[in-house]
Amino acid sequence: MTIQVISGSAHPALSKKVAKYLGITLSPTENKRFADGETYVRIKRKVRGDDVFLIQPVCPPVNDNLIELLVTIDALKRANVGKINVVTPYLGYTRQDRKVVSREPISAKLVANLISVAGADRIFSVDLHKDQIQGFFDIPVDHFVGYPFFADYFKRQKIKGLVIIAPDVGAVDKARKMATLLKAPIAFIDKRRSAHNKSEVLNVVGEVKGKIAVILDDIIDTGGTITAAAEAVFKSGAREVKICATHAILSGDASDKLQNSSATEVLFLDTIPIPKDKMRKKIKQLSVAKLLAKAIKRIHEGKSLGDLFTWEDKLTQL
């Protein structure tokens, strides 16, 4: 089967980087909106029998990008494609992964069903909000994590006196793994979530005094929680605070909150594009394009992804 890479409209810059690493050009598509807002997608190159990789993060505007992903899968399916591999570096709706109160949806499961029913044969993503979301899909899922990128970044800088901070108890596992890579101690933030997008920092658990604190998270949306955590860590005696997060949703004035926060540096992966008007001096993006390209090549050639999943143990060149 011939390999083809198709880009949705959500993040064409990342798709072009991936295609460049693979040494191919993106297959052309036509994407447009009808007058009533409905999405139209047409694949402009023959794909019959081919191994197609569709790159489309489900990022803001989430609903538009999700529908575009689904109709593109349908267009490929009806064109008798060989295999449809969905590459969604950020998958929206994954924070709604369980019922917290009665009569609310488990939207992560619904989205998983939609992608499967639309016709996808495989999906891979980076830092799903919870690992168990892989089980929501009835197709193979390849799940990559983001913290090795940040560990590699700090290792190259040869920074001494680091402490890795989990912004909540649920993030302790990833913080511990990153800390192991960097041979650094860990601490965590004790917080209480009062409502959606709102939480209260209660305490910093662990020794941070005199250290360079690195707060590790998967998503920054409104920026309120993470900046409050940075302030709490700084007030607890850290000599410097850095923030790392895989996905830069950055709703509302989140960019300004980060710029005005106690953090001296904010690192993201490029799973989501950051608009120019939301870029700030403190913000920097590290690219996942090479990892995605390696994964695509291995999947196409029927090779194991094991080396890519164990890369954090040896900080492979990214």
For the range 61-65, what are the long-range contacts, defined as Cβ-Cβ under 8 Å and sequence gap of 24 or more? 62/92, 62/93, 64/39, 65/8, 65/9, 65/10, 65/92
Beta strands in 119-211 (DSSP E): 122-126, 141-144, 162-166, 186-195, 198-205
C-alpha–C-alpha distance, residues 296 and 305, integer Å = 10
Tell me which residue of 237, 183, 248 sits closest to 213, measured CA to CA.
Answer: 237
77 is catalytic: no
C-alpha–C-alpha distance, residues 116 and 315, integer Å = 33
The catalytically annotated residue of 17, 177, 191, 257 is 191
Q: Torsions phi, psi of 67, nearest 5? A: -60, -40
Cβ distance 318 to 21 under 8 Å? no
Cβ distance 295 to 132 under 8 Å? no
Q: Which two tokens stand for residue 209?
A: 């005094």
C-alpha–C-alpha distance, residues 168 and 163, integer Å = 15
Half-sphere exposure of 74 (CA within 13 A, CB side): 12
Q: Give the catalytic positions in this structure.
A: 191
